[in-house]
Structure formats: structure tokens, C-alpha cells
Amino acid sequence: MERPVPLDVLVVGGRTTGLMLAIRLRRQGLKVRIIDRSLGIDPNSRATLLHSRSLELLDGLGLAEEILAKGQDLRGMRIFREGRLVLAGEDPPVDSPFPFGIAFSQVKIERLLAAKLSDLGVKVERNTQLVDLGQDERCVWASLSHSDGRAERVEASWLVGCDGAHSATRHLLGIGFSGSQSRYSYILGDVRAEAAEPANCWFYLLHDEGYVVFAILDEGRRQIFANLPLGHPAEGKPTLAELQDLVDRRGGSRYRMSDPRWLTYFQIHYRLAERYRKGRVFLAGDAAHLNSLVGGHGMNTGLQDACNLSWKLALATKGGCSEALLDSYEAERRPVAAAMIEGSRTLTEPGEKYPQMSEAERQALVESFQMSPEALWLFRREFEELDLDYGTSPLCHDAAPDLPAALRPGLEAQNVSPLLLEGKERDLFHLLGGPKHCLLLFAGSDLTVATAEDFARSLLARYAAWIGAYLVLGQAVEESSNQTLPLLLDPKGQLAQRYGVEAGGLYLIRPDGYVAFRATDLERLSGYLDQVLPLG
């Protein structure tokens, strides 16, 4: 008899991606350890911006309220040429409970996540390194080195490398990390900047010498970065005077900087792992993808990697599942990262090339930021990461293509409020993000309450461990026994109308908030589950 594996998942890397992954796994009931080679949380404001989709996910952990209260919202941009304002753009809100991105420095995000993980009984094991790994059909084994020189061998059902750009996990697996880097070195400062108003706008300063970005930060601060001249050695640590001189030359002498918390040189890399999975080992976050910091998408993409992978590992650990489910992590997330990398390049390279542009090209660059309302709406959804589409994933099936296109399988579920659950007002998003898939059964003119209850009783006899079902009605009715399903009241009919199922039907929503399946014929769901997510 094979001995049991004592640990479900070993998470290597204790930054935002690893912390989010460990939290989601613990909420799924898995046994988790998380290690990190650093001594503690990095005090520097590396990533600064949480997009709307990340805020939705963090809200599911109860963390968004503090971020909103203490963070800085992003409402627009200002573009300057040779120190002169040439464009003031305002961002329209997106369709989300969090209609704008929020700047909240990475150190604070990690503290919130680490505290949440600690509440779940897991602490990051600091100053601990992965030095070797191997695997077989049963488990992964990992050799760890601790700060006191102690060596340890750990066995886990799965291992996830969230250990950053220089990932030991990726190197040990021999997975390629191809790509390129900018020709330019960069300077960055976390500072206070006088006259950089409004504080809720990013500034792009274009100049014959190069460009400067004033990204927003919380506490009234700015993260300022700029490309350096070709050939600049970028060695050692920059000074505030160097940054001030560069900003003065490229933006005029109006921005007086002070109180530097962090000054550094850095390189921009564009890299993508050739694979996201090798057997029982996975890559996530910066271990899998690197991009420019312009646009602020790297950390957010890592957070979504974690949310995508966690429920799949939980299902594989608890009951077994098809290989297609585990392979879907790479199938869904790698194209997202590839698009994100190219998008960040598109936002970065024009600033680098600006000195070599003709006047016509410079003018065209500025005009490219002046979008029609429709184009701006599409850009805003993309920027806030609300437009991700897993529609080509093997996990997404549509048995009712006549239902609203905006809610087809592969797209994010859309929020609706107010709804009533057990007499308390809720919105739909507060029913999602838990350990189970969310099944919404809509009674209507073509689907009686009794039929829905009978169907759910049969379905949950097999799948109750990973599906939570709700019966959606416009109002409470006596014929509902309410013993099989909790009753979700849609008093204004907004949920049924938005999802296009006034006559009855169902939506199955994944734990990461994306529609997996929908149908107006209930029996189609059983076929989907047997085909796509067969349990062992």
C-alpha cells in the first residue's frame, strides 16, 4: 500500500501570487505550506496598482474595504510634450463594484494577504529555499534549505513555483523563459512630488531625451520612473538629485521631489515561460511571465493565475479529475500572459522611441490616446482586466448560445444587486469565490420549482462536495420546500433578465468567477460534468 502524502501543496514564493494561492487553497480545505527565500516582506513599493478585477477577487477575501479606504483611485492621465500639457484624459467607470483601479503599494497588499493566511493557520516560512525537486506519479518531493543550515525533504501532492523572475522552480524543471529586454536602463523613485496634481492621474512626460511616468501611489506619494540614455551604466544606487535633474529636464522645473523611500535602477524584461506545468509542478506569477511595469498588470496577472489554479488543484486533490482540467490552467492563463506582455510593450516602447520620432509621428502618438467612447469603453475593460475570455478552454461549454453573448461560458460572471438570501441583502459576487462552483437554477415559465428541486437533489447527491446550488426566484412561493436548495430571491428580476433566463435555465460559475456552462435544458448539465470534470 502506498503511504499517504502528508502535504497537499507546497507553494514556493511568498509574494502576492504565492500568498493569494495559499489562501485560496486553504479556503478549499487543503494542507498547504508556503516558503520564501527572503527574510520578510519587501518594504519597497514594487507594484502599485490593483485593477478592478483584482479588487473583486480581494473583496471575496474581505480585504477590499481597507484598500478602498486607504488607497488612491486612478481616474485619468495627463500627457505632456516638452513640459507642456497636451492632453487631459478622464477614465469612465467600468461595470464593476470597483469601477476604478486603486493604487495600494505591494508591501501593504502583502501584509493584508499574509495576515489573512495566518488567520487560516498558515504562516510564510521565511529564509527557506528550494534547492532541488523531483516527482513521480504519486507526489513531488522537494529539498529545502533553512536559515539555520538545516536540510529538509518535503513530499507534496503538488508544488507551485511562485518564486519570481529568477524562479528556482523553473530552473529546476528546465523550462525555458524566452523573450527580450528593453535596450534602455531605467531609474525609479518612490517619492513625494509637489505640483503633481491631480493625484488620481498618471502623468506621461514626453521629451526629446526620453520619457517619464508619474504613476500613482497611496499616501499622496508617486512612483516615478524613466528611461535613461543609452550607455548609462545604471550601477549602484541612484540619488534623489539624479532623479530630480532628469525630471526637471524632461518635465520642466515644476515638480519638486522629496522624502525618497526607494530609489533604484532596473531593466524591463518581456519574458514568457514555455510551459506552465510539468507533471505535478506548476508555475505562476513572475515565475511564468515578466512585463513592463507601464500599465501595472504584472502583479494583477499573478493574482489571477493563483485564483485560476487553486480550485483546479483542490478538485484534483480531493476527488481526482481529468487531466484536461489540470492542463486547462496553461491553456487559459498562458495566452492571457502573452497578451499582457505585448500590451505592456505597446505602452512602453513609444516613450522610448519618442526622441527618434518625426513631428507627425509624435502628434499621432498623442492623438492615439484620444479614443471614441466605444473604443475607450473597450480599452477600459481591458485595462481593468474585466475582458478575459476563456471561451476556447476545454472547460467552457455553451448549451444555450441564444442567451446573452456577454455572459457566454469563458467570460466573467456579471454582478447583480440587490438579491435576498435568508432575508439578507446580497449581491451576486458575494456568492462567488468560495470553495465550490456556484450553480444558479432559475425557475420560470418553462421550469417549475418542483422540477428544479428534483434535478438539484439528484445532481447534488454526486457533486455536493464541489457544487453549491441556489434556486433563483422572483419571490418566495409556497411550493418551494427550500430543503434541497437555498432560495435566492431576485425581487426586481434583474438577475434573471441580465442572464437571459426569465423562462428558466441554469448557469454554472467557477470558483474564480467565470461562467463554465449554461443551459435552458437542465439535463445538459449532467453531460457536461461527466465529459469535462469527471471525478475519480
Q: Do the Cβ atoms of 459 and 535 come closer than 8 Å?
A: no
Residue 197 vs residues 78, 86, 360, 435: alpha-carbon distances, Å = 10, 15, 29, 43
CA 450: distance to chain centroid?
39
Rounded Cα distance, 356 and 199, in Å: 30
At 158-206, the pLDDT tens digits run: 999 999 999 999 999 999 999 999 999 999 999 999 999 999 999 999 9
pLDDT at position 105, please? 92
Residue that is written with C-alpha cell 489540470 in the block: 326
pLDDT at position 536, please? 45
Rounded Cα distance, 407 and 439, in Å: 14
Q: Can you give the three-state secondary structure of 467-498, one letter per residue? A: EEEEEEECCCCCCCCCCCCCEEECCCCHHHHH
At 432-471, the pLDDT tens digits run: 988 899 999 999 888 889 899 899 989 998 888 889 999 9
Residue that is written with C-alpha cell 478552454 in the block: 393
Using only C-alpha atoms, what is the Rg of the chain?
25
Q: Looking at the predicted structure, is the pLDDT value of residue 219 above 90?
A: yes
* Average pLDDT of the residues in 477-499: 80
Instruction: Tell which phi-psi region holds residue 5, choosing left (phi > 0), alpha (psi between -120 and 50) or beta.
Output: beta
Q: Half-sphere exposure (CA, 13 Å, Cβ side) for 155? A: 8
Residue 180 contacts by C-beta under 8 Å, 6 or more apart in sequence? Answer: 269, 270, 271
pLDDT at position 445, please? 83
More confident residue, 395 or 531: 395
Give this prediction's pTM: 0.95
pLDDT at position 508, please? 97
Query: pLDDT averaged over the chain?
Result: 94
Residues facing 119 on adjacent strands: none
Bridge pairing between strands 277-278 and 467-473: unpaired
**Closest by CA position to 407, among listed 526, 529, 508:** 508
Which residue type, as a one-letter code, is found at position 266? F
In b/e form, how buried is each residue of 349-373, taking b as 16+ CB within 10 angstroms? bbbbebeeeeeeebeebbeeeeeee
At 51-80, the pLDDT tens digits run: 999 999 999 999 999 999 999 999 999 999
Q: Looking at the predicted structure, is the pLDDT value of residue 1 above 50?
A: no
At 119-140, the pLDDT tens digits run: 999 999 999 999 999 999 999 9
At 293-337, the pLDDT tens digits run: 999 999 999 999 999 999 999 999 987 677 888 999 999 999 999
At 349-397, the pLDDT tens digits run: 999 999 999 999 999 999 999 999 999 999 999 999 999 999 999 899 9
- Terminal Cα-to-Cα distance of the chain (whole angstroms): 18
Report helix, strand and coil shares of the chain as percent, to nearest 5: 35, 30, 40
pLDDT at position 476, please? 59
Rounded Cα distance, 216 and 70, in Å: 13
pLDDT at position 320, please? 66
At 10-50, the pLDDT tens digits run: 999 999 999 999 999 999 999 999 999 999 998 988 899 99
pLDDT at position 479, please? 47
Rounded Cα distance, 519 and 503, in Å: 12
Rounded Cα distance, 183 and 485, in Å: 59
* Average pLDDT of the residues in 248-264: 95
Q: Looking at the predicted structure, is the pLDDT value of residue 478 above 60?
A: no
pLDDT at position 421, please? 93
In b/e form, how buried is each residue of 230-258, taking b as 16+ CB within 10 angstroms? eeeeeeeebeeeebbebbebbbeeebebe
Helices in 120-187 by DSSP H: which ranges?
Answer: 168-173
